[in-house]
Amino acid sequence: MKSEEPGCQRVIPLSDLSPGESGVVETICGGRGMLARLSSLGVTVGAEISVIQNAPIGPVLVSVRGVRVAIGRGMAGRILVRVRAPDAL
Amino acid sequence: MRFKGGDSMELLVALAGNPNVGKSTIFNILTGMHQHVANWPGKTVERKEGICKFNEHVLHVIDLPGAYSLTAGSVEELIAREFIVHEHPDIVVVIADASGIERNLYLLAQVLELTDRAILALNKMDLAEAKGYRIDVHRLQEEIGVPVVPMVARRAQGIKELIERIIDVASGNVDVRPKPIRYGGLERALSRLEALLSGHDLGGYAPRWLAMKLLEGDAEVERLVKSSLSADLWEQIESLRRANERAPMLIADARYAWIRETLAQSMRKPAREAITITDNLDHVLAHPIIGLLIFIIVLACIFWLTFRLSEPFVKVLDEMISRIGEWLRTRLPFGDFANGLLIDGALSGFGAVVSLIPVLVVFFILVSVLEDSGYMARVAFVMDGLMHILGLHGKAALPLVLAYGCNVIGVMGSRIIEGERDRVLVVLLNPLIPCSARLGVMAFIVAAVFPRHLQVPAMLGLHMLSLSMVFVAGMLLRLFAIKGEQVPLMMELPIYSAPTARNIALFTLHRVVAFLKRASVVIVSVSVFVWLLSRLPIGATMRETYLGKLGSLLQPFGKLIGLDWRSCAALVAGFLAKENSLAVLSVLFGSTGKGLIESLRNAMTPLQAFSFTAFQMLYIPCVATIVAIWLETRSPKLTALAIVYPLAIATAVAALIYRVGVWLTY
């Protein structure tokens, strides 16, 4: 794995995160209705989110606010996440 | 609330909660056999209510549809909030999954925006503990300001306490003072909107709540307010909304901040969450490839069990009905005609309904096991990518495949699908899928008329035809008949848990009883009617009976697709049950003393047979399916559509087959 400069965090779409990666929701691009639906499932700006599963097609499975949520791939592409540097493993 | 003399009360209690929090389990324990299951008026959503008696009190319990929020994002959410606003329940019990308490309290926050008379039922406490959550219930109750009841509903723990709390709150023995939610920077906009709205008649909603929903962008509230206020006032509201574009996010933030404050002192989470059984199971069951393979196996098992496990029971019931028929025929003193009416008309119609019972029972038991265990949510997850191509919900795979066994099952199975639009689409697509009865007719005719080497290609061709029609119809229905965009998948995958016998039994019982109640009357009447058509006027030859005349009447139409009056009459009879068309064919064609196979071979060219089978594979659904469609949609319009559009497709296809066939052979 290539090393990242400390303090230089990546902001990428949720759909591009790999399983095991986590971060904080930075922006959500969507209409009011979409935002309301995501909020009710716990996905809001500032929420901690981690990816459990992410296959090339189909929805992304994430863990957010202590529950598992499946988000359609299209929608996941419009949720931008500030990826947290991986914990020292 | 009504006082019935003395201290006894009659209370209206609503159960609200996210999907899969154990709401049905609690409802089932509270009400037991005293429940009534119907649909919400004009909706495909189930409405369950029941009665719970406790000491001298009577609780009318309503199980609101599972919802993540009270914004009009889905029919379920809309129904839940309209009930709370318009029916004024004495108590709203918000059932939350303690193992996902943070997200689950979001619904409570929204309920508290509507009413103070709430109780928090904290279910699945055992799972929360397994995850390493430490919840201090007393502290939580103090923080949140509403009574909190810890529960493990699966083991019936906490039920008595819940009822006692409900009665305490209703009788005013407990002080309910919910901690207010502070909307910070939005307060100004909220109070300005509130001022604009107050004094107008707005459907009984509180102005402050409407103000908040307007800022959140709730389409339903928007419509209501816009239609009740002057254009000028609406313009002011719009400009306020434009100035607060970020309001939906800020409101959600305010609610989650309220939750965080509430939980800060009352819950401790481990630094690293314990790995649960759910995590391990999902590695396999929700895996994009392994999960898909497992689902295919599960689907095959359900199909096999539904139709094979029930088979011996169906046979026994069929046998019993026909024995009763024979017994009656020799005993009843009414003469041939009346005996025939009773036995071949009414009793055999009743037999058709009865023989569906084992199939329905097995199917609903299996579905409730899958639902209750949490596996069904994984089906939606692993199938989503694939079904998306068809513009359908991931769970649609299950009812559509089961429709090959029986359309009634396919239609009634559609209720597992979230989202009214997707549910209706699956219901409407069902009639195009050839059920086992139609496959039987198809196989018989193809085997009788086609030369041996063409039989397999003919059957394959028919299958391909029906499959492509499902695609075409799906596209057309989405374009013209069913409004609404496809909602992207967004759902919780609940924690796995063992299903309870009580839930399975009640779920199955209510579905089967609901179907039988409706279907028996309709099917018996249609059966009697078709029998009369085929026997009246008394003493007439088949051609002169009403059924024969109807067949002749349809002959011009039949000509279009290459069929004579006898085939048309058979198709009319097939409306009752698809296998009936074979019986009528054998009466009409087999009268020369030869068997049906030989007579058919002489009477129909392979082209006519192909046209006939294609038509009977696609045309109107049988009576039982129509009843099921009506039960699920409660819409005369959609039910009519489900009858008319397959007929149009069948006619077009059969005419095309016949005309092109004729053109090719000349």
Q: How confident is the model at residue A87 (pLDDT cuts 50, 70, 90)?
A: low
**B380 lies in some domain:** no
In order of B137, B543, B648, the CA distances from B122 in angstroms are: 9, 70, 53
Interface contact A53-B103, CB threshold 8 A = no
Tell me if B243 is assigned to some domain. Answer: yes
Nearest CA in chain B to A34: B73
Q: What is the 3-state secondary structure (H, E, C) of B407-421?
A: HHHHHHHHHHCCCHH
Q: At residue B195, does pLDDT exceed 70? A: yes
B contacts of A39 (beta carbons < 8 Å)? 69, 106, 248-249, 252, 255
- Per the structure, the complete domain to which residue B202 belongs is given by 184-268
Instruction: Give the residue from B170, B195, B214 where a domain finishes.
Output: B170
- Do B149 and B212 fall within a single domain? no
Q: Of B215, B196, B198, give the one whose Cα is nearest residue B207.
A: B198
Residue at a domain's end among B249, B268, B287:
B268
- Name the E strands within B4-108: 9-17, 35-39, 46-54, 57-63, 91-97
B381/chain A closest Cα distance in angstroms: 7
* Residue-level pLDDT at B590: 57
Number of domains in chain B: 2
| pLDDT tens track for B119-138 | 999 999 999 998 889 999 99
Of B27-36, B205-214, B555-564, minimum mean pLDDT range: B555-564
Query: What per-residue confidence (pLDDT) applies to A86?
Result: 64
Average pLDDT, chain B: 86
Clarify whether residues B252 and B134 are in a common domain. Answer: no
Look at residue A1 in the predicted model and tell me its pLDDT. 45
For the beta carbon of residue B319, count every other beta carbon within 10 angstroms.
11
What's the pLDDT tens digit per position in B402-411? 888 888 888 9
ipTM of model: 0.90
**Cβ contact A44–B253 (<8 Å):** yes
- B126 domain residue, yes or no: yes
Q: Say which CATH topology domain A11-83 has.
A: SH3 type barrels. (2.30.30)
Interval B10-19 mean pLDDT: 94
Separation between Cα atoms, residue A68 and residue B50, nearest integer Å: 32
Q: Measured between CB atoms, which of B269, B381, B492 is closest to A41?
A: B492
Report the residue of chain B nearest A69, measured CA to CA.
B492
pLDDT tens readout for residues A4-24: 555 557 899 999 999 999 999
The pLDDT of residue A3 is 47
**Domain contains B334:** no
Is A69 in Cβ contact with B491 (below 8 Å)?
yes
Q: Which residues of A touch B279 (CB under 8 A)?
A: 52
Rounded distance, CA B547 to CA B621, Å?
A: 19
In this complex, do B384 and A72 lie within 8 Å of one another by their Cβ atoms?
A: yes
Q: Do residue A36 and residue B287 have CB atoms under 8 angstroms apart?
A: no
The band of B277, judged by pLDDT with boundaries at 50, 70 and 90, is confident
Q: Do B77 and B128 sit in the same domain of this protein?
A: yes
Exposed (0-12), middle (13-18) or buried (19+): which is B298, by Cβ within 10 Å? middle
Q: For the whole model, what pTM was predicted?
A: 0.83
Q: What confidence score (pLDDT) does residue B594 get? A: 57
pLDDT of residue B3 exceeding 70, the answer is no
Residue B78, in any domain of the structure: yes
Contact B81, B16 (CB under 8 A): no
**Predicted local confidence at residue A52, as pLDDT:** 92
pLDDT, one tens digit per residue, over B536-591 is 777 777 778 888 888 888 888 888 888 888 888 888 888 887 877 777 777 777 55
The mean pLDDT of B134-152, rounded to a whole number, is: 95
State which residue of chain A sits closest to B107, comparing Cα positions. Answer: A40
Contacts B489 to A, Cβ<8 Å: 59, 70-72, 75
**Residue A79 forms contact with B (CB below 8 Å):** no
Between B594 and A40, the higher pLDDT residue = A40
Q: Which of B244, B268, B292 is the last residue of a domain?
A: B268
Q: What is the pLDDT of residues B388-442, one digit of tens each?
A: 777 787 888 888 888 888 888 889 888 888 778 888 889 999 988 888 788 878 8
Q: Which amino acid is at B37?
A: V
Q: Above 60 in pLDDT, residue B664?
A: yes
| Side chain identity, residue A35 | L
* Among the partner residues B69, B217, B493, nearest to A70 by beta-carbon distance: B493
- Structure confidence at residue B293 (pLDDT): 93
pLDDT score for A88? 43
How many residue pairs bridge chain A and chain B with CB atoms within 8 Å of each other? 129
pLDDT of A7 reads: 55
- The closest CB to that of A40, out of B106, B377, B494, belongs to B106
Distance from CA of B378 to the nearest CA of A (A): 9
CA distance A65 to B102: 6
Of B69, B256, B491, Cβ closest to residue A44:
B256
State the best of A52, A65, A71 to mutate against chain B, taking most chain B CBs within 10 Å. Answer: A65
Q: Do residue B493 and residue A71 have CB atoms under 8 angstroms apart?
A: no
Asked if A37's CB is within 8 angstroms of B248's CB, the reply is: no
Share of chain B above pLDDT 70, in %: 97
B217 → closest Cβ in A33, A68, A69: A33
Q: Is the pLDDT of residue A58 over 90?
A: no
pLDDT at position B365 is 92
* Residue B431 covered by a domain: no
pLDDT of residue B486: 67
What dihedral angle (degrees, nearest 10) is formed by the CA atoms of B96, B101, B102, B105? 20
**In the predicted model, what is the mean pLDDT of residues A14-36?**
90
Inter-chain CB proximity A70 and B219 less than 8 Å? no
**Cβ neighbours of A45 in B, within 8 Å:** 249, 253
In a domain, B28, yes or no: yes
Higher pLDDT, B229 or A4: B229
The distance of A44 to chain B (nearest Cα, Å) reads: 7
For residues B186-214, average pLDDT: 88
Give bridge partners of residue A68 from the DSSP assignment: A63
Same domain as B76, residue B166: yes
Task: State the CATH number of the domain containing residue B204.
Answer: 1.10.287.1770
Query: Distances in Å between the alpha carbon of B627 and those of A45, B515, B523?
Result: 47, 8, 9
Question: Are B161 and B257 in a shared domain?
Answer: no
Which range among A42-51, B469-478, B577-586 shows the weakest confidence by mean pLDDT?
A: B577-586
Beta strand B9-17 with B91-97: parallel, antiparallel or unpaired?
Answer: parallel
Note whether A66 contacts B99, CB cutoff 8 Å: yes
How many Å apart are CA B459 and CA B499, to the nearest integer?
A: 41
Kindly identify which residue of chain A lies nearest to residue B218, measuring between CA atoms: A33
A2 in contact with B at a CB cutoff of 8 Å? no
Confidence check: pLDDT of B623 > 80:
yes
Residue in B with minimal Cα distance to A60: B381
Q: At B377, is the pLDDT very low, low, confident or very high (cuts 50, 70, 90)?
A: confident
Answer whether residue B288 is part of any domain.
no
Minimal-distance CA residue of chain A relative to B102: A65
Please give the pLDDT value at position B368. Answer: 87
Q: Are B492 and A70 inside 8 Å of each other by CB?
A: yes
Q: Are residues B50 and B83 in the same domain?
A: yes
Name the residue with higher pLDDT: B4 or A14.
Answer: A14
Cis bond upstream, residue B621 (ω within 30): no
In A, which residues are within 8 Å of B16 by CB distance? Answer: none
Q: Are residues B93 and B156 in the same domain?
A: yes
Confirm or reject contact between A40 and chain B (CB < 8 A): yes
Residues B50 and B114 in one domain: yes
Same domain, B79 and B205: no
* pLDDT confidence of residue A89: 45
Q: Is A73 on the interface with B (CB under 8 A)?
A: yes
Question: What stretches of B171-246 show up as alpha helix (H) in DSSP?
Answer: 187-197, 207-216, 219-228, 231-243
CA-based max dimension of chain A: 40
A11 touches chain B (CB under 8 A): no
CATH of the domain at B58: 3.40.50.300
